[in-house]
Amino acid sequence: MHNIRQAIAVTELNLKGLPQRFWTSLVIVIGIACVVGVLMSMLSFSFGLARTIANAADPGRAIVIRAGGQDEYGQAVTREAAVAVLNAPGIRRDASGELIASTENINNIPIIRRDNQVPVRMILRGVGPMAFALRPEFVLVEGRMFQPGTRELIVGTAAQAQVEGLAIGDIVSMPDGAWEIVGAFETGGDLIEGQLLGDIDTAMASRDSGGYGSISVRLESPEAFDDFAAAIASNPSLDLTAERQTEFYGRTAGRFTQFFTPIAYILSTIVAIGA
């Protein structure tokens, strides 16, 4: 009974002192909420970005980049090398016998964000004529397709939602002049939906590029990858490597997660110390 009376007395004392400790307690609660909020928002951003990147992958597709490369930037795939890659076994053909493959090149261009008016770098991806057969998830939702050999672009709806000046009819300034937005597309919310697409040859000429950054192909089957990759690796004239698209984008997503996750915990620690 003595212990019970002691517990009741301590509880009453704490309750009586609660009004005096209200603001102190409130500051502590708000501090904890800020720490949790910062951590969760940063982790959500990190994993959301990684998921968007990974969603672009398809086990039936492969990508060829420079040997030892980590991304699609650069000009490592010459036109001669592209011919050799497209002669490798395992690439699917469409009903007319055309290879379902796309030589591609990406560059960053400055665009203004819609929400805070801050300049950002957006990807312009030059693609070949079979790029959309390669990506069956592609849907043109507004306007029309760009014409080969012209300074025309189509834009992903995710990019339109984030960046100003990407409506149909708007002009994007490039080193070689003005490019017009003529259409908008969706790709199921993946990485490509946040990019601009245009004709590969015209895009390369605008940057005076001497080669492609990558070649993406649709395989006859996921099992055909081994023969395709072996043909690339065994060709002494090619300093290139083939990867399954799932592995390539999975690795890219992993790099983003590894980069942002420590930042999330560092910021949360700083906020926690301040709280």
Distance of alpha carbon 194 from alpha carbon 157, whole angstroms = 7
Same domain, 73 and 193: yes
Residue 38 has pLDDT above 60, yes or no: no
Query: Which one, of 230, 249, 253, 252, lies nearest residue 241 by Cα?
Result: 230
Residue 7 has pLDDT above 90, yes or no: no
Same domain, 101 and 79: yes
pLDDT in tens, 237-270: 999 999 998 888 777 655 555 555 565 556 556 6
Residue 72 has pLDDT above 80, yes or no: yes
Query: Could you give the 3-state DSSP secondary structure of residue 126?
Result: strand
Query: Which one, of 66, 108, 16, lies nearest residue 212 by Cα?
Result: 66
Q: What's the chain's average pLDDT?
A: 81
Same domain, 110 and 198: yes
Same domain, 136 and 231: yes
Same domain, 149 and 224: yes
Same domain, 26 and 110: no
Q: Record the tokens describing residue 137, joined without a space.
A: 């998830």
Per the structure, how many domains does the chain have? 2
Question: What stretch of H or E contains 255?
Answer: helix 245-274
Residue 118 has pLDDT above 80, yes or no: no
Same domain, 40 and 89: no
pLDDT tier at 18, thresholds 50, 70, 90: low
Which range marks the domain in which residue 221 is found? 58-246
Confidence at residue 45, expressed as pLDDT on a 0 to 100 scale: 47
Q: Which residues contact 55 (CB under 8 A, 6 or more apart)?
A: 188, 189, 190, 191
Distance of alpha carbon 226 from alpha carbon 236, whole angstroms = 18
Residue type at 84 in one-letter notation: A
pLDDT in tens, 183-201: 999 998 888 999 999 999 9
Same domain, 111 and 32: no
Residue 66 has pLDDT above 60, yes or no: yes
| Global confidence as pTM | 0.73
Same domain, 21 and 73: no
Unique residue bearing structure tokens 């212990």: 3
pLDDT mean over 79-83: 94
Give the rounded percent of residues in the chain with a pLDDT score beyond 90: 49
Distance of alpha carbon 106 from alpha carbon 253, whole angstroms = 18
Same domain, 35 and 128: no
pLDDT tier at 57, thresholds 50, 70, 90: low
pLDDT tier at 174, thresholds 50, 70, 90: confident
Residue 62 has pLDDT above 50, yes or no: yes
Q: Which residues contact 106 (CB under 8 A, 6 or more apart)?
A: 72, 73, 123, 124, 125, 126, 195, 213
Same domain, 234 and 104: yes
Same domain, 28 and 47: yes
- 1 burial type by CB count under 10 A (0-12 exposed, 13-18 middle, 19+ buried): exposed
Q: Tell me the CB-side half-sphere exposure of residue 274, using CA atoms within 13 A.
A: 12
- CA 215, chain centre distance (Å): 17
Residue 106 has pLDDT above 80, yes or no: yes
pLDDT tier at 109, thresholds 50, 70, 90: confident
Confidence at residue 30, expressed as pLDDT on a 0 to 100 scale: 65
pLDDT mean over 118-145: 92
pLDDT in tens, 158-167: 999 988 889 9
